[in-house]
Amino acid sequence: MLAGALDEYRGVNAVVLGVPRGGMVLAWELARRLGAQTDLVLARKLGAPGNPELAIGSVSEDGRAFIHDEAVALTGASREYIRMEKERAMTEIARRAGRYRQVCPRVGIAGRNVLLTDDGVATGSTMEAAAWAVRRDNPAKVVIALPVAPEDTLRRLAKGVDEVVCLRCPPCFQSVGQFYRLFEQVEDEALLALLEACTRERSR
């Protein structure tokens, strides 16, 4: 269904970037249906004090941080806490980059239509950081493509990209997982196998 909503990007030298891990599964399927290349974009959520699942911001692969000021005020996160959380996030990004980029080198996106995707977003902080990182490489267009997200998050994301495509914007949004019959974590081994397939597909 999401590929159908993105049909205008079929055969126009587009590249689909997934937020690992779950987003890469969707990115791979979208790219196959649209005849596009696939790559991953690395960004990490900054968790709130005492509640790591609540995002107060995020960090992208190039080290830039997005801070959600309202969430910081609500949770009382200090500057020192944010600094330490950013260091933790960058350590994980470096670990992932060191492993994933060995099998999947970065794809050039300058002048191309870029479709950013994930299996869904809640606060959208990680997706927002990913969009910032992509913008630095001068793509022709940046589109965020999602199966599900809250309406207020989509409005905020739309301010930083050219287009947002989302299949569902339910009024009662609690978590991404509530909209899937089966919502399992994608393990590193499965992701590495998928990235290897993406790299092989590029050379055809």
- Spell out the domains of the chain, with CATH numbers in brackets: 2-202 (3.40.50.2020)
The whole-number pLDDT of residue 1 equals 79
d(CA 190, CA 196): 10
* Alpha carbon distances (Å) from 61 to 39, 86, 91: 13, 12, 10
Q: Are the C-beta atoms of residues 135 and 116 closer than 8 Å to each other?
A: no
Q: What is the DSSP letter of 177?
A: G
Residue type present at position 149 = A
Q: Per residue of the chain (204 residues), give pLDDT as tens.
A: 788 899 999 988 899 999 887 788 889 889 989 999 999 998 888 889 998 877 788 888 788 888 888 889 999 999 999 999 999 999 999 988 888 988 988 889 999 999 999 887 877 878 888 888 888 789 999 999 998 888 888 898 999 899 999 988 777 766 665 555 555 666 777 788 888 888 887 766
Q: What residues have CB less than 8 Å from 191, skipping those under 6 apart?
A: 20, 21, 24, 100
pTM over cut 0.85: no
